[in-house]
Amino acid sequence: MLDLKFVRSNPEKIEEALKKRGGKVSLDSFLKVEAERRRLLAQVETMKAERNAVSQEIGKMKKAGEDAEAKVLEMRELGERIKAIDNNVKELENTLEKELLSIPNIPNESVPVGLTEEDNVEVRRWGEPPKFDFEPKPHWEIGEKLGILDFERGSKVTGARFTFYKGLGARLERALVNFFLDLHTGEHGYTEFFPPFMVHRNSMVGTGQLPKFEEEAFKVEKTDYFLIPTAEVPITNLYREEILDAAEIPLYHCAYSACFRAEAGAAGRDTRGLIRQHQFNKVELVKFTTPESSYDELEKLTNDAEDVLKKLGLAYRVVTLSTGDLGFSSAKTYDLEVWLPSFNTYREISSCSNFEDYQARRANIRFRRGPKGKPEFVHTLNGSGVAVGRTVAAILENYQQPDGSVIVPKVLQKYMGVDVIR
RNA sequence: GGAGAGAUGGCCGAGUAGGUCGAAGGCGCUCGCCUGCUAAGCGAGUAUACGGGCAAAACCUGUAUCGCGGGUUCGAAUCCCGCUCUCUCCGCCA
């Protein structure tokens, strides 16, 4: 959410930013409503001031045994008018809040301007895509053949885009979760959390999934709970409505969670394999920082995620998302894309973003620089560290052998207990 | 799921026959004084949001906030209704 005062005084900046994102939005009506709100607010607050003063007088008069009936009647009538205007103001505020919650974040200056992912800018590459002297297979074929992935039974038991992992497949998934968490807690300084997998509506609003993208989320019937689409939601909302000490931040948190996504509008895309599931596992990195350090922290966070792929020996590249491809709440995002032989291209496996104070304002997460400091909004960041299912896909495809077996990357061998899946 | 108790400022904690309570007191914290050092002591200050004044900061001023929402009333931390959460006991359960 953007600062109302900022919107009020810089509407052209916001309109420009929205345009860069590919929307065309005018703030004219918003500003008109906002001006009306302030007009009415000033009016009703003056009336309340009078009521407070006179009510106090009435109290004194009654105590003194005087007749205050005339003033009581007067105030009764004033009260009616106050109530009417109050309702009016509340209505306008609801309208404004709804609008405000639907305005995306303003992209950072350094974000390349463009309307699609074609306009994303590659920042760097690491590693060499493997060369095969045989026709490499897609991971779903490798997995099925090895008997470690069962897509058909996933569909039978639950539905499309759900999968069973079996044997060393299940173990590989678990090994990756442990490896990711051990790496981030052991070498990168993150504190591990295990969050709830459901959150209430306000938390979803806090990180920006709601109100605009409700059709993307799974709602739990008979409750106000949603299945989390990422651990970003519970972890970022950890400190909602809190004021942190400056000495406490930056906070580095990481968490494993299952992630649930309706993938509305993705029909027909990536229908095979592990790339796009309704349920997948992910280890998420979340940071709470000061405003002045958040962009340095974004670089570090991205490096932390990259370290996972380096240690696994998977070729990847880093791209800066263009304004048009940027997520709703993000000011700047780097995507890590891992090489997938069957796609003959790089595919997203991690997304690392700086939200600046956009989520912090929605979730009301602040910090204080000192005993006399005014509360300020923190900056929040997060990134996948990394998506587990897609990593399984990448390992199966990049480490496949002519005989259909798959070599286990060195760092995973102690978790797997074997060095080859066959 | 049943019964009961509770929710007040950074923390603890007073405050119900409704009025001068944004809220006593204590702790903590900040600044100053005092004191060989430390500790102790003394004094002052110490919530947030949204408006208005101001180019802006400082500052001044108004409104709102005693879990959340609504109601009664000239006036609500105090009365009424609904909800949420916490604690205790019982039941159930991995």
The answer to whether residue A313 scores a pLDDT higher than 80 is yes
- For the annotated catalytic residues of A, the residue numbers are 261, 276, 348, 351, 390
Judged against a pLDDT cut of 80, whether residue A372 lies above it is answered with no
- Reported as type and span, the H/E element at residue A74 is helix A69-101
**Strands (E) located in A71-173:** 121-126, 149-150, 164-165
Note the pLDDT of residue A377: 93
User: What percentage of chain A exceeds 70 in pLDDT?
Assistant: 100
Distance, CA of A247 to CA of A373 (rounded, Å): 13
Does pLDDT of A75 surpass 90?
yes
Strand partners, A385: none
Strand order in the sheet with A191-193: A121-126, A316-320, A332-340, A345-354, A379-387, A279-289, A251-260, A191-193
pLDDT at A167 (0 to 100): 97
Residue A2 · residue A358 · CB < 8 Å: yes
Which pLDDT score is estimated for A397?
98
Q: Which bases on strand B have an atom closer than 7 Å to a protein beta carbon? A: 10, 19-20, 29-30, 45, 48-52, 62-64, 70, 73-75
Q: What is the pLDDT of residue A73?
A: 93
pLDDT given at position A26: 85
Q: What is the DSSP letter of A104?
A: P
Strand residues in A127-163 grouped as ranges (E):
149-150
Summarised one tens digit per residue, pLDDT across range A399-412 is 999 999 999 999 99
Q: What per-residue confidence (pLDDT) applies to A374? A: 86
DSSP one-letter string for A175-209: HHHHHHHHHHHHTS-PEEE---SEEEHHHHHHHT-
Residue A296 clears pLDDT 80, i.e. is over it: yes
Scanning every strand, the nucleotide with its C1' closest to A366's CA turns out to be B48
User: Nearest nucleotide (C1') to the CA of residue A46?
Assistant: B62
Mean pLDDT of A104-122: 95
CA distance A265 to A12: 32
Neighbours of A138 (CB within 10 A): 18
Structure tokens at A289: 């920082």
Instruction: Taking residues A359-378, report their average pLDDT.
Output: 89
DSSP H/E element including A416? helix A410-416
**Shortest CA to C1' contact from A368: nucleotide:** B10
Residue A49 has pLDDT above 90, yes or no: yes
SS3 A213: coil
* pLDDT, tens digit (0-9, with 9 covering 90-100), for A124-144: 999 999 999 999 999 999 999
| pTM value > 0.90 | yes
Q: What separation in angstroms does the CA of A358 have from each of A4, A36, A327, A362?
A: 12, 25, 12, 7
> Does residue A129 have a cis peptide bond before it, meaning omega lies within 30 degrees of 0?
no
A33 CA → B58 C1’, Å: 31
pLDDT band at A264 (very low <50, low <70, confident <90, very high): confident
* Beta pairing, strands A345-354 & A379-387: antiparallel
**CA of A322, C1' of B44: distance in angstroms:** 55
Say if the ipTM goes beyond 0.85: yes
CA A188 to chain centre: 21
